[in-house]
Amino acid sequence: MDQRYWNATALVVFIVLCALSTVLISRYGSDVTDLEFFDLAVLGLGTLRLIHLLTYDKIFEFVRAYVIEGQRARQKKALSGWRQFVYEFLECIWCTGMWSGVFAVTIYLLGSWGRIAVIVLAVAGLGSLLQVISKAIADSAR
pLDDT digits (tens, 9 = 90+) for 44-95: 999 999 999 999 899 988 887 777 755 554 556 666 677 778 888 888 899 8
CA distance linking residue 42 with residue 83, whole number of Å: 32
Strand-pair partners of 76: 69
- The pTM for the full model equals 0.83
Q: CA separation (Å) from 134 to 41, 96, 119, 122, 130?
A: 20, 26, 22, 18, 6
Cα separation of the two ends of the chain: 50
C-beta neighbour count of 83 within 10 angstroms: 16
